[in-house]
Amino acid sequence: MREGTGWRDVLRWLNGPVPTGKFRGVQFAITPLAILWFIALGLLGWWVPVVLMVTIGIHEYGHSLMGERLKYTPEVFLFEPMGARVVMGPRVQTVNDDMWISIAGPLVNLVVGLVLLPVVLLLYYMDLEGSPAFVPIAGTCVLNLGLALFNMLPIYPMDGGRIFRGWAIKKYGWKRGNLLTRNVGVAIGLVLGGVCWIRKYRLLTLLMVPYVVDCIRGLELEERLWKQQDPFTRLKEWGEHQKRKQDS
C-alpha cells in the first residue's frame, strides 16, 4: 500500500469494483469487501455464499430483463457486501420505468421461492431433510422469499422505496415526493431498528443503519442528478402531474 494511505483510501479500495469478466456484453465486477463477506459466510457452510450469490443474481437478472424490455441496456453487474446492482444505459429517465424495473427483481425472487416451496415440503414430509440437497434447496427457497419481502420495504434505494418514491413523485411532484420518501424510509428504518434492539437482535439493528444512511444519501444524489437532467423532461412530467391533479 502506498505511503500516506489513510483509512478513507482503504475504504475506497475495499468498496471499489474489481472486474471479473464479461458476459453478453455485461461487465461483471465485485468489490473486495464483498469477497471478504462471502468468504466469511462460507464458514457457516459451503452452500451459504453460493445460495446467496445465486439468489442475488436472480434478483438482479429480474431488473435486467425488465430494463431490456423497456429499451435499456444492462452495462455493469456489481456484487457488493449488502447485495448487488445493475447499472443500465442510458440512465432510467422516467418514474414509471424506474417503478417497473424495481418491482421486477422481488417478483422474480417471489416466483422462484414459491416454485421451490412445494419441493421443500415434499422433501420434508418424505423424511429427507437430512439429505445433502435439502439444506441448499430449503435455503434457496427461504432466501428468495425473504429477499422478495425485505426488498419491498419502502426504504430508498431498496426496490420498495423506489416504487414508493415513484408513486409519491407522481402524486405530489418531485420535491415533496422525494421528501416524503426520505421521511418514510428513515422512519421505517428507525422503527425496525428499534424493534430489533428491544428484541435483543442487536446485529439486525446494526444492519438497518446502512439502509437509513443510504436512504438519505441516495435521495440527495437523485436530487443532484435530477437538476442535471434536460429541463424539458422535468417540465413534461410536471405538466402531466398538474393535468392529473386538474382531472381529479
pLDDT at 248 over 50: yes
What stretches of the chain show up as alpha helix (H) in DSSP? Answer: 7-14, 32-42, 47-69, 95-125, 134-151, 159-172, 174-198, 202-228, 231-247
Q: Which domain holds residue 248?
A: 155-248
pLDDT at 169 over 80: yes
* Strand bridging mode 26-30 / 18-23: antiparallel
The C-alpha cell that represents 221 in the structure block: 444524489
pLDDT at 9 over 50: yes
pLDDT band at 237 (very low <50, low <70, confident <90, very high): low
CB-based contacts of 83, cutoff 8 Å, min separation 6 = 56, 59
Distance CA 179, CA 186 (A): 11
The C-alpha cell that represents 192 in the structure block: 425496525
List 21's β-bridge partners, or say none: 28
* Residue 231 pLDDT: 45
* Residue 153 pLDDT: 92
Name the domain boundary from 102, 123, 152. 152
Distance CA 113, CA 6 (A): 44
**How many other β-carbons are positioned within 10 Å of the β-carbon of residue 177?**
20
Give 76-135 pLDDT, tens digit per residue.
Answer: 888 887 778 888 877 666 888 999 999 999 999 999 999 999 999 998 888 877 788 888
Give 170-223 pLDDT, tens digit per residue.
Answer: 888 888 888 899 899 999 988 988 898 888 887 778 878 888 888 888 787 777
Name the more confident of 228 and 142: 142
* Residue 232 pLDDT: 45
Task: Give me the mean pLDDT over the 151-164 stretch.
Answer: 92
User: Is-contact 144 58, C-beta < 8 A?
Assistant: yes
Length, in residues, of the chain: 248
| Structural domain count, the chain | 2
Question: Same structural domain for residues 6 and 95?
Answer: yes
pLDDT at 238 over 50: yes
Average model confidence (pLDDT) for the chain? 83
Question: Same structural domain for residues 232 and 147?
Answer: no
Question: Same structural domain for residues 25 and 126?
Answer: yes
Name the domain boundary from 152, 182, 197. 152
pLDDT band at 1 (very low <50, low <70, confident <90, very high): very low
Question: Same structural domain for residues 54 and 125?
Answer: yes
